[in-house]
């Protein structure tokens, strides 16, 4: 990029969180806007020293930004890490090489390997705007990615990111399709698998549309924002880890697509499979178990949908060289008692410690997942996976291993408790007929989860349980009275979140 005076602005920090999207702010009367013809939402290529980033422009009309300054959002600042007094230069970026493939997909064309690779390269390099990426996500929604395109997209996501090599021997991993509040089996499964001498380098996501992701829950108990070198040290020392995948950037193109999918609140089976399996391949996994909850308010709502998704996972996993199995599980109701980072962490610790009153359903599900994953590992006698998992948990070996993993990642912490709590009570006597997972999760999110780590919902009731009038159905936990009241207002207008039938 050639530097000219009319493209040069002094860099300041805006102090604005735009999530992972680099954004720059210029005054409408600044020389760069005038000479380059920049307008709001223009894509601009910015260089600071030797570092470059493509960002989205927002135009400032007030007097709080000088005409010779450019303000950088947090994501843009982190991309170029400017020194004090630094200057930035700007120009229009070259058109994205994948723009033609993106337009073709919008109009219904199939994507081949080269198309997918170009799209993921441009996605990872931030050469496509969020509007263009939203169009791509929408064009792929429903059943508009076939199996061949799913495989091509998975390969492309792997190709544009890092890929770990753990040497010889099996490397185990698991993933839950999601949609089930409180289903926080991963820390328990990782502890069990590692305690039995297997490698399980687990990268996990933060919440996209849920009250907590595995990384959010684990972060209550130990640091998760490790880089690749630190992640490798933990796994080499303890056999397993639970780290935030966004920090190790094993599939950076997928991380960008997830950012775009978050406000849209949908994805396609093809993109879900490519997202999950690209990260498994990149993490060096060889044996992978997929936990697929099926229920009317889970992400996968019917047996037919489960079979279709399982087939796509199996075909793509085979093409990527994975030994993959799918475990269909009950998705009709939450798992554990807590919904939200700290509340789910408390459940995890209770199961690992064997504490009285630990949620039996979380224990049972974690053992089922761990047992099925062990069955994929070479050397496990057929049918012995569940027994081996149970012995590792009941003996305390899994708890010891979990503590060791936490210490290796930076130290263990006990979860705290929210200062504001309020019950939502049964309006009448009856029996729990159904639980709406999505709306119960929304109550937890309105209470502040996952941003407020102590916030969420505690629900101990299950389908078939009797209740009396005035009995708490669930309890809202919040870190501020405003968030508590916001969640309660939603709960009071949706009285069938836990629906009652006459016993």
Residues annotated catalytic, as ranges: 267
Distance CA 104, CA 229 (A): 40
Distance CA 439, CA 373 (A): 31
Q: What is the dihedral of CA 265, 270, 275, 276, to 10 degrees?
A: 110
Instruction: Report yes or no: 172 and 202 within 8 Å, Cβ to Cβ.
Output: no
The residues near 118 (Cβ < 8 Å, ≥ 6 apart) are 97, 98, 101
Reference 22, options 54, 45, 50, 47; nearest CA is 54
Reference 164, options 49, 88, 245, 80; nearest CA is 245
Instruction: Report yes or no: 376 and 189 within 8 Å, Cβ to Cβ.
Output: no
Distance CA 306, CA 326 (A): 10
Instruction: Report yes or no: 500 and 470 within 8 Å, Cβ to Cβ.
Output: no
Phi, psi torsion values for 304, nearest 5 degrees: -65, -45
Extended strands (E) in 163-206 = 172-176, 200-204
User: What's the token pair of residue 172?
Assistant: 């185990």
Helix (H) or strand (E) holding 294: strand 287-294
Distance CA 128, CA 17 (A): 20
Distance CA 353, CA 348 (A): 9
Distance CA 375, CA 370 (A): 9
Reference 340, options 478, 176, 436; nearest CA is 478
Distance CA 337, CA 92 (A): 52
Instruction: Report yes or no: 1 and 47 within 8 Å, Cβ to Cβ.
Output: yes
Burial of 293 (0-12, 13-18, 19+ CB in 10 A): buried
In the block, residue with structure tokens 């229009």: 92
Reference 330, options 306, 352, 348; nearest CA is 306
Distance CA 350, CA 399 (A): 10
Q: What is the dihedral of CA 472, 473, 478, 480, to 10 degrees?
A: -60
What is the 8-class DSSP label of residue 4? -
Distance CA 77, CA 65 (A): 16
Would you call 107 helix, strand, or coil by DSSP? Answer: coil
């Amino acid at each position: 990029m050639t530097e000219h005076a009319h493209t040069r602005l002094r860099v300041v920090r805006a102090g604005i969180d735009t999530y992972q999207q680099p954004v720059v702010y210029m005054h409408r009367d600044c020389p760069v806007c005038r000479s380059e013809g920049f307008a709001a939402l223009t894509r601009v290529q910015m260089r600071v020293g030797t570092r470059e980033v493509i960002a989205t422009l927002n135009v400032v009309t007030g007097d709080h930004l000088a005409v010779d300054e450019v303000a950088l959002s947090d994501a843009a600042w982190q991309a170029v890490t400017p020194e004090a007094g630094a200057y930035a230069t700007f120009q229009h970026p070259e058109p994205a090489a994948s723009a033609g493939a993106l337009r073709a997909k919008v109009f219904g064309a199939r994507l081949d390997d080269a198309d997918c690779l170009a799209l993921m390269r441009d996605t990872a390099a931030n050469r496509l705007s969020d509007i263009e990426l939203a169009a791509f996500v929408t064009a792929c929604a429903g059943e508009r990615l076939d199996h061949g395109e799913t495989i091509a997209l998975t390969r492309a996501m792997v190709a544009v990111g890092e890929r770990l090599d753990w040497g010889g021997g099996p490397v185990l991993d698991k993933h839950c399709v999601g949609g089930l509040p409180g289903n926080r089996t991963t820390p328990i499964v990782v502890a069990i698998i590692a305690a039995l001498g297997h490698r399980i380098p687990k990268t996990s996501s933060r919440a996209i549309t849920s009250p907590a992701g595995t990384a959010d829950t684990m972060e209550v108990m130990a640091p998760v924002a490790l880089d690749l070198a630190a992640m490798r040290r933990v796994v080499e020392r303890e056999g397993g880890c639970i780290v935030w995948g966004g920090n190790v950037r094993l599939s950076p193109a997928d991380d960008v697509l997830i950012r775009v999918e978050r406000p849209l609140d949908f994805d396609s089976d093809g993109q879900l499979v490519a997202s999950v399996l690209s990260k498994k391949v990149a993490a060096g996994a060889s044996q992978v178990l997929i936990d697929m909850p099926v229920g009317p308010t889970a992400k996968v709502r019917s047996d037919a949908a489960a079979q279709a998704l399982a087939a796509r996972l199996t075909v793509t996993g085979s093409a990527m060289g994975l030994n993959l199995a799918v475990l269909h599980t009950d998705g009709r109701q939450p798992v554990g008692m807590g919904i939200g980072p700290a509340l789910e962490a408390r459940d995890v610790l209770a199961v690992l410690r064997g504490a009285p009153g630990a949620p039996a359903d979380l224990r049972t599900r974690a053992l089922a997942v761990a047992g099925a994953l062990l069955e994929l590992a070479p050397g496990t006698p057929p049918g012995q996976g569940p027994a081996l998992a149970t012995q590792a948990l009941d003996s305390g070996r899994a708890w010891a291993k979990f503590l060791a993993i936490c210490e290796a990642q930076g130290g263990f912490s006990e979860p705290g408790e929210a200062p504001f709590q309020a019950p939502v009570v049964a309006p009448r006597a009856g029996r729990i007929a159904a639980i709406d997972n999505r709306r119960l999760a929304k109550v937890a999110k309105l209470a502040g989860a996952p941003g407020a780590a102590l916030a969420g919902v505690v629900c101990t009731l299950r389908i078939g349980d009797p209740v009396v009038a005035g009995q708490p159905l669930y309890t809202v936990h919040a870190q501020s009275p405003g968030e508590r009241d916001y969640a309660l207002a939603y709960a009071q207008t949706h009285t069938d979140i836990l629906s009652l039938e006459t016993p």
